Structure 1
Amino acid sequence: MTPAEFLSLSINLGLGMVLISIALGFIRLAAGPGLANRVVALDMMTVSIIAVCGVYAILTGEAALLDVALVLALVGFLATVALARFAERRLAPTDGENDDD
């Protein structure tokens, strides 16, 4: 097997495995019993989409896809932080209890 054939096989297998992980993340996102499961599934799907951008950039040699991956990573981080803050406020006690005392 030549190095070019090995690289092609590796890229195709990598894309296939990342697409499977996106599908599994979507299943967990749709069927997750709670908010925490859905947030983790969404974060996993974001990381998988970033991996698709990276592997596809290797396949095509297009460096602009790495910029797309970087922007997706930043947006995914901000979305995770926002959803964590939303979950924290949603689960916070509302009967006047204060933990700062």
Structure 2
Amino acid sequence: MKIVIFITLAVMTVALCLAFVRLVKGPSLPDRVVALELFSTLSVGIIGVSAIMTDVASFLDVSIVMALMAFLATIGFSRFLERGGPRDD
């Protein structure tokens, strides 16, 4: 069981690094918004796996709050782009 958790954390960490690269290098602002959403989703997943690994239930509360905040941030960025915010594409 521990091996599966460590492999999951390793894969999610690599995906987090790749999402960060896309966030920094993204060719356009919508690409960066999607990368930011992926970054936050992977962070929530890592916190969830850490909660399973350590048996600390309060990590799940942190994970839920972070997921809700990331969702609202994505909605805010999308509304900003929809209303004609600055674009570099």
* Structure 1 letter corresponding to 2:39: M
Aligned equivalent of 2:46, options 25, 29, 52: 52
Q: After the TM superposition, which parts of structure 1 deviate over 2 Å for at least 4 consecutive aligned residues?
A: none
Aligned equivalent of 2:23, options 19, 26, 29: 29
1:84 pairs with 2:60: no
Q: Partners of 1:48 and 1:22 in 2: how far apart?
A: 6
TM-aligned CA deviation for residue 78 of structure 1: 0.2
TM-aligned CA deviation for residue 90 of structure 1: 1.9
| Corresponding residue SS for 1:90 | coil
Q: Partners of 2:23 and 2:48 in 1: how far apart?
A: 23
Task: Map Cα deviations across residues 41-98 of structure 1 (whole Å, 9 max, x no partner).
Answer: 000000000000110001100000000000011001000000000111125xxxxxxx
Q: Partners of 2:83 and 2:71 in 1: how far apart?
A: 19
Q: Extract unaligned runs of 5+ from structure 2.
A: none
Alignment identity in percent?
40
Q: Partners of 1:66 and 1:9 in 2: how far apart?
A: 21
Question: How many residue pairs align between the two structures?
Answer: 85
Structure 1 equivalent of residue 11 of structure 2: 17
* Structure 2 letter corresponding to 1:62: V
| Greater C-alpha radius of gyration | 1
* TM-score normalized with structure 1 length: 0.82
* TM-score normalized with structure 2 length: 0.93
